[in-house]
Structure 1
Amino acid sequence: MADSPVQKALVLLKCLADYGEPIGVKRLAEDTGLNISTVHRLLRLLAEERMVSFDPQTRLYGIGTDCIRFAISVLGGDSLAARVRPVIAELAHTLQETCAYSVYEPDTFTKAIAAVERGPHQLGYNFDVGRRDGIHAGASGKAILAFLPDDDIETMFKTVTLEVTAENTIVDPDTLRRDIAEIRARGYATSLGERVPGAGFGIGAPVYGPDGRIVGSVVVTVPLFRWKKKNLGWMSKAVMDCGRVLSGIAAAEVGAEAEAGA
């Protein structure tokens, strides 16, 4: 039985990892043997540090962005990180531009960059692993936003102050709703100067978990001086194909964890 607060927090994180999907406080208390008040207190602390995520709609907790980021930094072998990187690297090689994978943080309507592969050019867009941004701007963010349930989208509009970070950042809810409808219709998001002024043209696609919920996105960003509109068709297809591959990896990872814990 865990005695110290640190041990108890680690027990909670291990339990969340074993489930592979968000679960409630009562189940966590039952499975760890900790009392509910202790579980509540530790989860709040872990959520503040982004080691766990909290969905206010379902009241469920899951593994947080920073916990995933740490895993990506240190794990090898058959880890999810080890499987994601080659897929992103292949996309970057195909498109000859920098590509990135981001994970979705539902309790704050943000996403964090978890893996980056640069293209071959000396001049290209640079992503910082661990960087966290709102999902209302940029191709990687909107690729997540557009495929969330409508109730979640409306909750974001009501509870989050949408930050303007560049000349083309969209913060008007009605304009974003129209953008979302177009993204859903074509299957991918695009952006031009929405996140960083004059940065480039972005194409993003969603990544789904085994339960069909959005877990992240994949994006390519092309500097404006290299961007050609005629490339949108084949490049967007490559990004969407990569999103489907990553969705399959995410589903297989959770399935393997569940089988190992059986």
Structure 2
Amino acid sequence: MNDSNHQLATVRRTFEILELLWENDSLGVTELADHLDTHRSTVHAYLRTLEATGFVINVDGRYRLGFRFLEFGGRVKYRNRLFRASQTELTHLADDTGFTAVLTIEENGELVIAHIEDGQRSLQLGLYTGMRNPLHANASGKAILAYSSTEEIDQFFATRTLEAPTEHTKTDPDAIRDELAAIRETGYACDWDEQVIGMGLLGAPIIVAGSVLGAIGLVCPTNQVTDEDQRSDLAKRVKQSADIISVNYQYG
């Protein structure tokens, strides 16, 4: 193995350790070595290096992720122009509806939650900034996908496995393409029980100069979306927020 390959393998193993710590909250050296099927001494060397950087914390021999990640994540978020253009309007949307308003973006074929604002009637679903979901499995992702280019849509279906978080999730490419066409007609997307049973979601794309930059989503109980009148009112408000954010982005 040459130096270049060795460095790549080292970086990959570092992130495997970080992901294991994220999944398990905290682990000891032996536990990590068992997960990775490698020697304790090797794992310990990685952990000591990560501890020295502040990204991993040692508490009585058990290792967990440090808040250094929060520092990096906060910088990425607050430097993002779309977040800055969206923050105030997300608060207004959550206050007006009482539900959870989310700013989402697409990254590497996945939907990423960039910011969350809770309302007085918000569902407690464990959503968090940075959470990733399949684009095809919720309204915000479909809103982004619907306004992507034909080439980008074709590439998505050609390169992604369409997972089904629930039994209600659509995974047939033809059915999803039909839904994307309907979204382009109405200007918004909706779903219920596709990501979480009991959760409904409405999403509208944020479009600037003909390009979709992200989407605004409103998370609410399923019955708010299945009721046609409620859905119409909420969709109108979500589309209004997306339009306001688009103007803020361009001229704010």
Indicate yes or no: 2:132 matched with 1:128: no
What is the deviation of 1:112? Answer: 0.8
Mapped to 1, the partners of 2:104 and 2:249 lie a distance apart of 13
Q: How many residues align structurally?
A: 182
2:222 aligned partner, one-letter code: L
The 5 Å alignment of 1:1-262 reads 69-71=73-75, 73-74=77-78, 80-105=82-107, 108-121=108-121, 123-196=123-196, 198-209=197-208, 211-224=209-222, 228-252=227-251
Partner of 2:10: none
The alpha-carbon distance between structure 1 residues 252 and 200, as it changes in their structure 2 partners (threshold 3 A), is same
- Residues 111, 216 of structure 1: 8 Å contact kept: no
TM value normalised by structure 2: 0.65
- The 3-state SS of whatever aligns with 1:168 is coil
Distance in 2, matches of 1:102 and 1:202, equals: 12
The Cα of 1:208 is off from its aligned counterpart by: 1.9
- Gap change, CA 1:158 and 1:225, over 3 Å in 2: closer
In the alignment, the residues of structure 1 paired with residue 215 and residue 72 of structure 2 have an alpha-carbon distance, to the nearest angstrom, of: 15
- Give yes or no for contact 2:192–2:200 (8 Å, CA) kept in 1: yes
Q: Which amino acid aligns with 2:189?
A: A
Alpha carbons of structure 1 residues 70 and 172: separation in structure 2 relative to 1, 3 Å: same
Name the counterpart of 1:61.
none
Cα 1:136–1:80, aligned 2, differ >3 Å: closer, same or farther?
A: closer
**Aligned-pair distance for 1:125?**
4.4
Task: State the TM-score, normalizing by the size of structure 1.
Answer: 0.63
Q: Would the alpha carbon gap of residues 119 and 174 (structure 1) be closer, same or farther in structure 2, given more than 3 Å must change?
A: same
2:97 maps to amino acid: L
- Whether the aligned pair in 2 keeps the contact of 1:99 and 1:221 (CA below 8 Å) is yes
Instruction: Tell me how far apart the structure 1 counterparts of residues 151 and 163 of structure 2 sit (CA, whole Å).
Output: 21
Conserved in 1, the CA contact under 8 Å of 2:83 and 2:103?
no
Cα separation, 2, equivalents of 1:236 and 1:167:
25
CA pair 223-159 structure 1, distance change in 2 beyond 3 A: same
Question: For residues 221 and 205 of structure 1, do their structure 2 counterparts lie closer, same or farther at Cα, with a shift above 3 Å needed?
Answer: same
* Structure 2: stretches of 5+ with no match in the other structure: 1-69
Secondary structure of the residue that 1:136 maps to in structure 2? helix
Over the residues paired in the alignment, what is the CA RMSD in angstroms? 2.6
CA-to-aligned-CA distance 1:35-92 (integer Å, 9 cap, x gap): xxxxxxxxxxxxxxxxxxxxxxxxxxxxxxx99953365569xx65344221001001
Give the conservation status (yes or no) of the 8 Å contact 1:104–1:214. no
Deviations 1:1-41 (A, max 9, x none): xxxxxxxxxxxxxxxxxxxxxxxxxxxxxxxxxxxxxxxxx
* Contact kept? 2:205, 2:242, Cα under 8 Å: yes
2:5 aligns with none
Whole-angstrom CA distance in 2 between matches of 1:208 and 1:94: 23
Inter-CA distance 102–75: structure 2 relative to 1 (3 Å threshold): same
SS of structure 2 residue aligned to 1:215: strand
**Counterpart residue number, 2:4:** none
1:120 & 1:171 partners in 2: Cα distance? 33
C-alpha spacing 1:80/1:219, structure 2 compared with 1 (3 Å): closer
Alpha-carbon shift at residue 251 of structure 1 (Å): 2.3
Question: Quick one: which amino acid aligns to residue 242 of structure 1?
Answer: S
Greater helix fraction, Structure 1 or Structure 2: 2
What is the DSSP-based 3-state SS (H/G/I as helix, E as strand, rest coil) of the residue aligned with 2:222? coil
Following superposition, the deviation at residue 230 of structure 1 comes to 2.0
